[in-house]
Amino acid sequence: MSQSDASGSQERFSGTVPRSVIAVDRAIGDLRRGQPVVLLGEVACAVARSTEFLGEGDFAAMTRVPGGALRIVITGQRARALGLETDQAVVVFRLSPDISPITVQALANPESGMPAPELHRTFAADDLATASVQLAKHANLTPAAVLKPLGLPPENAGEWAVERDLLTVQVRELERYGAEGDFNLRRVSSAHVPLAAAPDARIIAFRPVSGGTEQIAIVVGEPTPDNPVLVRLHSQCFTGDLLGSLRCDCGDQLRGALTTIAEAGNGVLVYLAQEGRGIGLVNKLRAYTLQDEGLDTYAANAVLGFDDDERHYRVAAEILRQLGVTRVRLLTNNPDKIAALTRFGIQVVERVRHRFEPTPENREYLEAKIRTGAHLP
């Protein structure tokens, strides 16, 4: 099972994977397969499962779990989209045993096409509720969960879970995962790959020791640490980078950055596996549907239950450090990238403007990034 009794010293990186990271990665995998997981808090525990895979039999099984009342956890953003006044990060509602799974899904996801039911009684959000939503976000699922408190102390829940072939994950492991999960990187491969915009380019692949998603750096020329290196942090965009979507400027930014770096003689483009400002491709497509109904990119994410921007940049700072880059000239219009790299020990000596002319298809998107995302003009 995935409970960890590792000491603080064992949790520090030493070339092996912290057991807390393994526990959370396994729980993410089970959640994405539609399986429930058992969350262990300090004083309580609960069974959690994603709302995305909730069928009649699954819901019935959750109602039979001995313990407290069945509940759904959604984010404060999603609750406000449903017309509820709240300033809480997560909101917890009691579910009637006779409610249908499709109605539960309507609470979590506007894509269901069903009107959300009227909600009344709420529970105070505890560490288990917060952890269930965070786990769903890590899994790139709808940020919501069905939660059933177990009528057991946490120290006894492991045996209960083993008997039912369920994984357990401790809330404190999940809290540490945000700081540890993808950031202990190994350089695993590199190759010279001539690009149209940058013939003298090498692609270097980094893999988290946890076994998570690979991250990529494109190194053009021979950057030296003696001078600030021209750097672009680019979050992957399948629709824009690969398909040439006109909804965004991502493809222009990617190819434009490579051209600018090549013209400068050298530099680094860090290609981050953080699709859709960190919500994943499936959720980005859901947001596109909401944008077609009149919402801007940030409002669409909020209706789905996400923050304006779910990305992190510690992994980018780690890649730059492994490349020997600690001082950068950053190609960006996003002040969050500047602040994040600075926070993680990379000195940003200059912000280099990186903007392209809007098109009729992406004009509103770009204006929203300035208006709501505080991007620099």
Tokens of 373: 């995302």
Asked if 149 contacts 70 with a C-beta cutoff of 8 angstroms, the reply is no
Phi, psi of 238 (to 5 degrees): -55, -45
Sorted by sequence, the CB contacts under 8 Å of residue 194 that are 6+ apart come out as: 200, 201
Distance CA 59, CA 63 (A): 6
Distance CA 26, CA 39 (A): 13
Question: Among residues 164, 182, 181, 157, which one has the least CA distance to residue 39?
Answer: 157
* CB-based burial label for 253 (10 Å; 0-12, 13-18, 19+): buried
Distance CA 339, CA 208 (A): 24
Sorted by sequence, the CB contacts under 8 Å of residue 46 that are 6+ apart come out as: 38, 39, 67, 68, 128, 132, 147, 148, 149, 150
Distance CA 89, CA 80 (A): 11
Tokens of 286: 């859901």
User: Element (H or E) spanning 302, and its range?
Assistant: helix 297-304
Please give the positions annotated as active site.
309, 311
63, amino acid identity = T
DSSP annotation of 117 reads P
